[in-house]
């Protein structure tokens, strides 16, 4: 009996490691917003945000969908990478949109994760903290760029 339990647990553990994406995702997991305070003129803050994006994304001009300096808005369509199946599992590249609005005193960043087009699956729950960590790295670059000097 003990051996059967061990085999069951071992098989269950392997199956758990093979978990891949999912067909739906709660909005609370796919959408992530952050706000950064600043004391700069909006035009200066906008330029600094562009510099932060250059540090965050090697090819940020290619990812840029729209840019409206007058309205203080940027829309990017980058991708985030994550693994399923553990550290040696499959790497997925899910697109997301990043909408940035620069206003007097605040910069709003909204990240909206999408399905991985290759697998037509959403990132598993276990990958969300890692994805958000990547999003937070972009926010940190923006915070650093607009910090008082």
Q: Are strands 106-113 and 90-103 parallel, antiparallel or unpaired?
A: antiparallel
| C-alpha–C-alpha distance, residues 137 and 111, integer Å | 12
SS3 string, 59-98, reads CHHHHEEEEECCCCEEEECCEEEEEECCCCCEEEEEEEEE
**pTM of the shown model:** 0.84
**pLDDT tens by residue, the chain, 149 residues:** 544 443 333 333 333 444 557 899 999 999 999 999 999 999 999 999 999 999 999 999 999 999 999 999 999 999 999 988 888 888 999 999 999 999 999 999 999 999 999 989 999 999 999 999 999 999 999 999 999 88
Domains parsed from the chain with CATH numbers:
2-146 (3.30.530.50)
| Helix axes 42-56 and 128-146, enclosed angle (nearest 10) | 140
| C-alpha–C-alpha distance, residues 86 and 15, integer Å | 11
């Amino acid at each position: 009996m003990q051996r059967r339990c061990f085999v069951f647990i071992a098989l269950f553990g392997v199956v758990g490691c093979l978990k891949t994406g999912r067909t739906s995702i709660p909005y609370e997991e796919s959408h992530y917003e952050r706000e950064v305070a600043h004391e700069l003129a909006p035009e200066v803050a906008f330029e600094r945000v562009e510099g932060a994006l250059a540090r965050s994304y090697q090819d940020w001009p290619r990812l840029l969908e729209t840019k409206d300096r007058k309205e203080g808005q940027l829309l990017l369509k980058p991708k985030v990478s994550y693994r399923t199946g553990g550290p040696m599992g499959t790497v997925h590249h899910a697109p997301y949109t990043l909408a940035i609005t620069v206003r007097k005193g605040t910069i709003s960043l909204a990240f909206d994760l999408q399905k991985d087009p290759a697998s037509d699956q959403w990132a598993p729950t276990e990958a969300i903290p890692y994805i958000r960590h990547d999003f937070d790295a972009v926010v940190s670059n923006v915070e650093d760029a607009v910090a008082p000097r």
